[in-house]
């Protein structure tokens, strides 16, 4: 930072930050700036990735950058006074800096940011800031070096980039198929409507760096000779849509969208936003196309594939948000620079949304080939509250559960698929010893069953029958043979469903049966939930050594199942107890035992 520049104060205003109170923090800083005439440059950015530390405020002065976390309206007053006015950084709030060690430095140490290269570094509503960080140089390189369409496609092929939406199909090959079709009208679509936890990543990218996605689409349009572009984004992402509209307007004003882009005669291309209703099935290409056309989002049989007949029966290419965000970096830096990251068959980096029983939740971008264990324990900081790591669910609601003993599996498409899980668009839900795997399978299947479009009998009815069996097991009514029924149904659904939703919906059930069969058997044979989660299988008992006879549990029991004299141990009538857990919640002496 130049010594003559003002100190910058940057507030993370992604959806996650705003939900945590970052807008109030921003308003407080703005009020201080006006009241005290602070000589600072107050700026906005989007999600910085460290969602577990929101709200986040970065201060950049002549000495360097300091990222402050867990900030509220009171602590920001202290930080502004000491850091900005007295030039004395408040170390107790600093969560990341290059100037000294912090406990959160490890969160960023092993990351390689390509798709997320600008998120948290720029104001997403400023095209100038995007261009200052090499934005739109990739499309300018194509024009300046007279790269042909096939040159662009070959660069993407050589990079090894595979679709980041879950299927992992080679992006360059997909573009090549669309390019081979010589129709005069073609379309390119960005799928920003995926419904798994990785959709958090899509939303954050659109909120934090919309121009990267737009530039990627422009390059893709050039490569396949597309005449129109659509960003299909769920309406539940209002901030992403707002920032996309701002970015699209700016891009048109700068000549990156419209007619004869950057002086290339005949290269006419523009993008509009289609707001989707948030249907999970619309993550499937043909269902998405049907929705864009105004029909109900339902998949159709293939062939023909979209590259031959897609939107309005015209050749169409569809990639997701993360895929497009990688494209400008690849073109600008070269295929070889991208391919140096990753494994033989899975090149580059992958963004994950870390969630669940993990200390550091948020967005991370890692090179393909890093182990799942390193992602969870090095970047994610391990499991909350000192609990034991049990499993990780990858691939969203229709992904699979990977047990702890397979945590050294590396992050690449083939290795993850071999476990029974899928990469998906980047969801990684971490579970600890208090998680019931049967209940997890029930939870995810309940979601996919509701999201089934109903077109395929096996998906529509088969998932419902599976859900009924799982519900029966978690209610303590499971019977011998239920596990086998689940497996038979699961494979029938996988083999006979038309689209990826039905084909992958049974994955949570199959993987939990494969790796945690003992938990299913305990539910069915012993009528016990080993993780003490399934309410119907719990037994509440009084620990007489700890019970003080305070009567609080008895007073709060809704069915009068607890009796006993004051100052003497109480007991619970198991025939009357409805297992509501009120006694367990209200007891101040840890005298209620679960079994």
pLDDT tens sequence across 557-590:
999 999 999 999 999 999 999 988 899 999 999 9
Mean pLDDT over residues 144-168, rounded? 93
Q: What are phi and psi of 304, to 5 degrees?
A: -75, 145
Length of the chain: 595
Specify the 3-state DSSP secondary structure of 358. Answer: strand
Q: How far apart are CA 233 and CA 256, in angstroms?
A: 21
**Residue 196: pLDDT over 70:** no
pLDDT tens sequence across 235-268:
889 999 999 999 999 999 999 999 999 999 889 9
How many Cα atoms are found within 13 Å in the side-chain-facing hemisphere of 159? 28
Q: Which of 63-77, 193-207, 423-437 has the lowest mean pLDDT?
A: 193-207
Mean pLDDT over residues 162-185, rounded? 92
**Residue 214: pLDDT over 60:** yes
**Residue 131: pLDDT over 80:** yes
Q: What residue has token string 């807008």?
A: 23
pLDDT tens sequence across 502-524:
999 999 999 999 999 999 999 99
Contacts of 108 (CB under 8 A, 6+ apart): 49, 96
Model confidence at 194, in pLDDT bands (50, 70, 90)?
low
Model confidence at 314, in pLDDT bands (50, 70, 90)?
very high
For residue 397, what pLDDT is reported? 86
Mean pLDDT over residues 447-463, rounded? 92
pLDDT tens sequence across 225-243:
999 999 999 888 999 999 9
Model confidence at 197, in pLDDT bands (50, 70, 90)?
very low
**Residue 8: pLDDT over 90:** yes
Q: b/e string for 275-313 if b means 16 or more Cβ within 10 A?
A: ebeebbbbbbbbbbbbbbeeeebbbeeeeeebbbbbbee
For residue 592, what pLDDT is reported? 92
Cis check for the bond before 304: say yes or no (omega within 30 of 0). Answer: yes
- End-to-end Cα separation, the chain, in angstroms: 60
pLDDT tens sequence across 461-478:
999 999 999 999 999 999
pTM for the predicted model, two decimal places:
0.93
Question: Mind listing the domains of the chain with CATH numbers?
Answer: 7-105 (3.40.30.10), 127-339 (3.40.50.11540), 349-432 (3.10.20.600), 437-526 (1.20.1440.230), 539-594 (3.30.70.20)
Closest CA to 522 of 476, 580, 577: 476
Sheet holding 64-68, edge to edge: 40-45, 7-12, 57-61, 64-68, 94-96
DSSP structure string for 15-80: HHHHHHTHHHHHHHHHHHHHHHT--EEEEEE---S-GGG-S-EEEEETTEEEEE-S--HHHHHHHI
Q: Which of 190-199, 285-294, 334-343, 351-360 has the lowest mean pLDDT?
A: 190-199
For residue 279, what pLDDT is reported? 81
For residue 55, what pLDDT is reported? 97
Mean pLDDT over residues 190-210, rounded? 79
User: What is the chain's mean pLDDT, rounded?
Assistant: 93
Model confidence at 2, in pLDDT bands (50, 70, 90)?
low
Mean pLDDT over residues 166-178, rounded? 92
For residue 482, what pLDDT is reported? 97
How many Cα atoms are found within 13 Å in the side-chain-facing hemisphere of 359? 19
Mean pLDDT over residues 175-180, rounded? 95
pLDDT tens sequence across 405-434:
999 999 999 999 999 999 887 889 999 999
CA 381 to centroid of chain Cα atoms: 18
Mean pLDDT over residues 64-91, rounded? 94
């Amino acid at each position: 930072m130049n010594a003559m520049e003002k100190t910058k104060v940057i507030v993370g205003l992604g959806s996650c930050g705003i939900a945590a109170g970052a807008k109030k923090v921003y308003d407080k800083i703005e009020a201080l700036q006006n009241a005290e005439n602070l000589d600072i440059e107050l700026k906005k950015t989007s999600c910085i990735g460290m969602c577990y530390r929101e709200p986040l405020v970065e201060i950049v002065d002549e000495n360097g950058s300091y990222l402050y976390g867990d900030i509220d309206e009171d602590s920001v007053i202290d930080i502004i006074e000491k850091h900005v006015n007295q030039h004395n950084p408040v170390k107790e709030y600093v969560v990341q800096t290059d100037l000294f060690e912090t406990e959160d430095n490890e969160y960023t140490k092993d990351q390689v940011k390509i798709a997320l290269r600008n998120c948290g570094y720029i104001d997403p509503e400023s095209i100038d800031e995007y261009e200052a960080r090499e934005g739109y140089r990739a499309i300018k390189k194509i024009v300046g070096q007279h790269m042909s369409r096939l040159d662009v496609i070959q660069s993407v092929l050589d990079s090894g980039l595979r679709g980041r939406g879950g299927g992992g199909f080679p992006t360059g090959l997909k573009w090549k198929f669309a390019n081979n079709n010589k129709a005069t009208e073609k379309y390119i679509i960005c799928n920003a409507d995926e419904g798994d936890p990785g959709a958090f990543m899509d939303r954050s990218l659109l909120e934090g760096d919309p121009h990267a996605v737009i530039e990627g689409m422009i390059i893709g349009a050039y490569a396949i000779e597309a005449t129109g572009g659509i960003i299909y984004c769920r309406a539940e992402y209002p901030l992403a849509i707002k920032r996309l509209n701002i970015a699209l307007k700016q891009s048109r004003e700068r000549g990156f969208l419209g007619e004869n882009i950057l002086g290339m005669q005949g290269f006419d291309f523009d993008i509009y936003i289609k707001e989707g209703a948030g249907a999970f099935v619309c993550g499937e290409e043909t269902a998405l196309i049907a929705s864009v056309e105004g029909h109900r989002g339902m998949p159709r049989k293939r062939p023909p594939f979209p590259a031959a007949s897609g939107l309005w029966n015209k050749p169409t290419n569809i990639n997701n948000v993360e895929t497009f965000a990688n494209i400008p970096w690849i073109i600008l830096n070269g295929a070889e620079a991208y391919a140096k990251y990753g494994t033989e068959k899975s090149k580059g980096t992958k963004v994950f949304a870390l969630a669940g029983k993990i200390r550091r939740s948020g967005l991370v971008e890692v090179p393909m080939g890093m182990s799942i264990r390193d992602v969870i324990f090095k970047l994610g900081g391990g499991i909350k509250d000192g609990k034991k790591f049990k499993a990780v669910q990858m691939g969203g609601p229709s992904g699979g559960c990977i047990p702890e003993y397979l945590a050294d599996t590396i992050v690449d498409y083939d290795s993850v698929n071999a476990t029974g899980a899928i990469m998906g668009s980047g969801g990684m839900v971490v579970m600890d010893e208090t998680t019931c795997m049967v209940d997890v399978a029930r939870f995810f299947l309940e979601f996919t069953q509701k999201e089934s479009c109903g077109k395929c009998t096996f998906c529509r009815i088969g998932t419902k029958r599976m859900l009924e069996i799982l519900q029966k097991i978690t209610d303590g009514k499971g019977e011998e043979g239920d596990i086998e029924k689940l497996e038979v149904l699961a494979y029938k659904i996988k083999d006979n469903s038309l689209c990826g939703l039905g084909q992958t919906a049974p994955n949570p059930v199959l993987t939990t049966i494969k790796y945690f069969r003992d938990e299913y058997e305990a539910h069915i044979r012993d009528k016990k939930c080993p993780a003490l989660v399934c309410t119907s299988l719990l037994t509440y008992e009084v620990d007489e050594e700890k019970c003080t006879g305070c009567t609080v549990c008895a007073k709060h029991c809704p069915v009068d199942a607890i009796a006993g004299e004051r100052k003497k141990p109480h007991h619970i009538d198991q025939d009357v107890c409805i297992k509501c857990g009120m006694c367990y919640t209200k007891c101040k002496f840890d005298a209620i035992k679960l079994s």
